[in-house]
Copies of this chain bind each other. A is one copy, B any other.
Amino acid sequence: MSTAPDIYKQQGFGHVVAPKAPYGVLIIDFVNGFADPLTFGGGNIEPAIECTRGLLDVARARRWPVAHTRVVYQDDGADANIFALKVPPILALREDAPQSQIVPQLQPCNGELVLRKIHPSAFFGTSLASWFSQRGVQTLLIAGCTTSGCVRASVVDAMCHGFRPLVVTDCVGDRSLRAHEANLFDMQQKYATLMSRDDALQATEAAQPHGAPP
């Protein structure tokens, strides 16, 4: 890919879009089934979950709106969609299945949105965009898995809905490191700003809502 970045730059891709307050956090599909390498996990998903703990702590201290997603299909599979035809085991993620519960490290707090979804994007078929819009959010810090699947699909939609996507690179993971890298590249060129967690938290430190704890 030695020359690929050159053509992107020549054609005007990859401009930096600075984070802009107010901020929100979206944590995609960090459920047991995606933490488990024998189900849908593997690769760098486990360290991404650990890294997201610190992101969530700061987001709560800064009183940012936080949304979590879970993949949940109807118990009888009545809502099986084309996605489930491509990946049939996904139908096992039902309301009460252990595999579809959010991982213990990232349990939602009161006031945080917890969405059921059956599509890659956290926005498709949900009220997520409306929820962030109602809060005036301009930039979405995005964590979750997988980078090449639901994260990327959500990043594209976040941008389309008018939010600046800020992909927190060490808080997103994928079963395939190669797919992880290839999709970070695409997102950086066309859709999102990429930062490590610590850089992202520093870049968004200044503009806090009045009265937020330090």
Q: Enumerate chain A interface residues (CB-CB to B < 8 A).
A: 1, 4, 7-8, 11-15, 17, 22, 39-40, 42, 74, 76, 78-79, 81-83, 85-90, 110-114, 116, 118-121, 124-127, 129-136, 138, 148-149, 153, 156-157, 159-165, 175-176, 178-179, 182-183, 185-186, 189-192
User: Is A160 touching B120 in the complex (CB atoms < 8 A)?
Assistant: yes
Contact present for B121 and A160 (CB under 8 Å): yes
Contact check, B113 vs A79: say whether CB atoms are below 8 A apart: yes
- CB pair B179–A130 under 8 Å, yes or no, is no
Write the chain B residue with the least CB distance to A115.
Answer: B79
> If the complex has contacts A83-B190, A134-B82, A190-B83, are A7 and B120 also in contact, measured as CB distance less than 8 A?
no
Residue of B nearest to A1 (CB): B178
A11 touching B89, Cβ below 8 Å: yes
| Cβ contact of A176, chosen from B1, B88, B119, B131, cutoff 8 A | B1
Partner of A153, one of B8, B15, B112, B156: B156
Q: Give bound CA distance, A88 to B16, whole Å.
A: 11
Cα separation A112 to B1 with both chains bound (whole Å): 38
Of the candidates B131, B186, B191, which one forms a contact with A179 in the assembled complex, judged by CB atoms under 8 Å apart? B186
Indicate which residue in B42, B86, B135, B161 contacts A17 across the interface (CB closer than 8 Å).
B86
CB distance from A156 to the nearest CB of B (A): 5
Q: Which 9 A-B pairs have CB atoms at the shortest separation, nearest pair first? A: A134-B162, A125-B127, A12-B89, A133-B162, A130-B162, A182-B182, A133-B133, A4-B176, A136-B136
